[in-house]
Amino acid sequence: MSANPSQELLLHRPDDCHLHLRDGAALAAVLPASARVFGRAIIMPNLQPPILNTAQALEYRARILAAVPPGVDFSPLMTLYLTDHTSPEEIRLAQASGAIFGVKLYPAGATTHSDAGVTSLRSIMPALTEMEKLDLPLLVHGEVNDPEVDIFDREQVFIDRVLTPIMRDFPSLRVVFEHITTIDAADYVALGPPTLAATITPQHLLYNRNALFRGGLQAHNYCLPVLKREVHRRALVKAATSGLPKFFLGTDSAPHARGAKESACGCAGCYTAPLALELYAEAFEAAGALDRLDDFASRFGAEFYRLPRATDTIKLRRRDWQVPADLPFGDQRIVPFRASDALRWKVEA
Ligand code: NCD
Ligand code: ZN
């Protein structure tokens, strides 16, 4: 879908299948950047306190819609935060609402705001059974939180300890392995059944773990799952550009104020929303696969979530521009990913 692919790219309006929007002043600060480009987004429920039930999800949805700039069309696709206590009745309410598109499994303690997450597979059996029955997808943060397991191996160990048993016991449950970071996850998804798909972030397509330590500790490149070795990055590029419908766009844009990132114990999360599609274009172009970006960004995610593909379009133009050094974030500032860096693609206003 493009005119002259070396200079401009016309794409169906994309969907962000993994987005953190936060709440309050932070929500108001970050939402316009996503809504400017993406028509819909799967909204992560890891607020503090988390979105545990349908009533909370609908209230949060209303707050998101109230923050959408006038004249912009943006649909938040809500999710629930799975806990050891999520009941089948709660799953039924979620599915009946028509506003909830998935339930997110955070292993307790694995990432930002995950303290209320799942502590054992046994405890979530009733919820998963109902989700499988009602065809409500499970979205997983695919890392174990076992201090004995090396942080660079936590995704592979999650596959063995958590994902494989779930796939075995719930063969009809649709599962999204969120923000995959390793060749192991890419292969597992590619070879898995059609019920299994994965999102891939722009930072994991563009960078390996050297980016964390380039010339000193780079707090703004720190996210979870953490960046991995080059062999893994290459496998993710191959997966994203494969044309397989199992891999689709999910930015995992995860905003934190400057002070929370540039700290002795900095938060995990890269704020990519203001440049996300441009980053994906850079990664796909480097792989010689710009012609595959449209399906990755607007088709495969929509198909997985059984939504119609967008009919309107957006244009990416080749144009050098500089990412701002920082941006307003309520009464604080936020440093975007690639701050002050030069980019070569820009979404047209
Ligand atoms: C996310 C956040 O800040 O909410 N952080 C991140 O590094 N990706 C949580 C998550 O998705 O793991
Ligand atoms: Zn996330």
154 lines ligand 1 (CB under 6 A): no
Q: How high is the pLDDT of residue 114?
A: 85
Structure token digits, residue 170: 């719930």
Predicted pLDDT at 3? 56
Question: pTM of whole model > 0.95?
Answer: yes
Residue 120 has pLDDT above 60, yes or no: yes
Neighbours of 208 (CB within 10 A): 15
Question: Residue 2 — pLDDT band, cuts 50, 70, 90?
Answer: low
Q: Which CATH architecture has domain 8-314?
A: Alpha-Beta Barrel (3.20)
With beta carbons less than 8 A apart as the criterion, state whether 102 and 136 touch. yes
What rounded mean pLDDT belongs to the chain?
Answer: 97
pLDDT (mean) for 126-152: 97
Q: What is the largest CA-CA distance in the chain?
A: 54
Mean pLDDT, residues 101-115 taken together: 91
Domain boundaries, the chain: 8-314
pLDDT digits 0-9 by tens, 183-231: 999 999 999 999 999 999 999 999 999 999 999 999 999 999 999 999 9
So what's the pLDDT on residue 170? 98
Residues less than 5 Å from ion ligand 2, measured at CB: 252
Mean pLDDT confidence for 294-321 = 98
pLDDT score of 295: 98
Q: Is the pLDDT of residue 321 over 80?
A: yes
Q: What is the pLDDT of residue 128?
A: 98
The reply to whether ligand 1 has any atom less than 6 angstroms from the CB of 261 is: no
- What is residue 314's three-state secondary structure? strand
Res 281 pLDDT > 90: yes
Residue 111 is predicted with a pLDDT of 82
317 bridge partner residues:
8, 346
Q: What is the pLDDT of residues 224-278, one digit of tens each?
A: 999 999 999 999 999 999 999 999 999 999 999 999 999 999 999 999 999 999 9
**Which pLDDT score, from 0 to 100, does residue 211 have?**
98
For residue 224, report the distance from its CA to the centre of ligand 2, in Å: 8
Question: What are 298-309's pLDDT values in tens digits?
Answer: 999 999 999 999
Average pLDDT over residues 328-344: 98
Proportion of the chain in helix, strand, coil states, percent, rounded to 5: 40, 20, 40
pLDDT for the residue numbered 93: 98
User: What is the reported pLDDT for 60?
Assistant: 99
Question: Cα separation of 221 and 33, whole Å?
Answer: 19
- Name which residue sits closest to atom 11 of ligand 1, judged by CA: 252
Q: Is 121 in the pocket of ligand 1 (CB under 6 A)?
A: no
Distance 50 CA to ligand 2 centre (A): 13
Provide the pLDDT confidence category of residue 1 given band limits of 50, 70 and 90. Answer: low
Q: Which ligand is nearest to the CA of 203?
A: 1
pLDDT of residue 110: 83
Segment 306-328 shows an average pLDDT of 98
257 CB within 6 A, ligand 1: no
Residue 319 has pLDDT above 70, yes or no: yes
* Nearest C-alpha neighbor of 326 from the set 268, 256, 267: 256
Please tell me the predicted confidence (pLDDT) of residue 101.
Answer: 98
From the CA of 20, how far away is ligand 1's center (Å)? 8
pLDDT (0 to 100) of residue 180 = 99
Chain centre to alpha carbon of residue 23: 17
Q: How far apart are CA 36 and CA 74, in angstroms?
A: 8
The beta-strand segments (E) located in the chain are 8-12, 15-19, 40-43, 75-81, 100-105, 138-141, 175-178, 196-200, 247-249, 313-322, 327-329, 332-334, 342-347
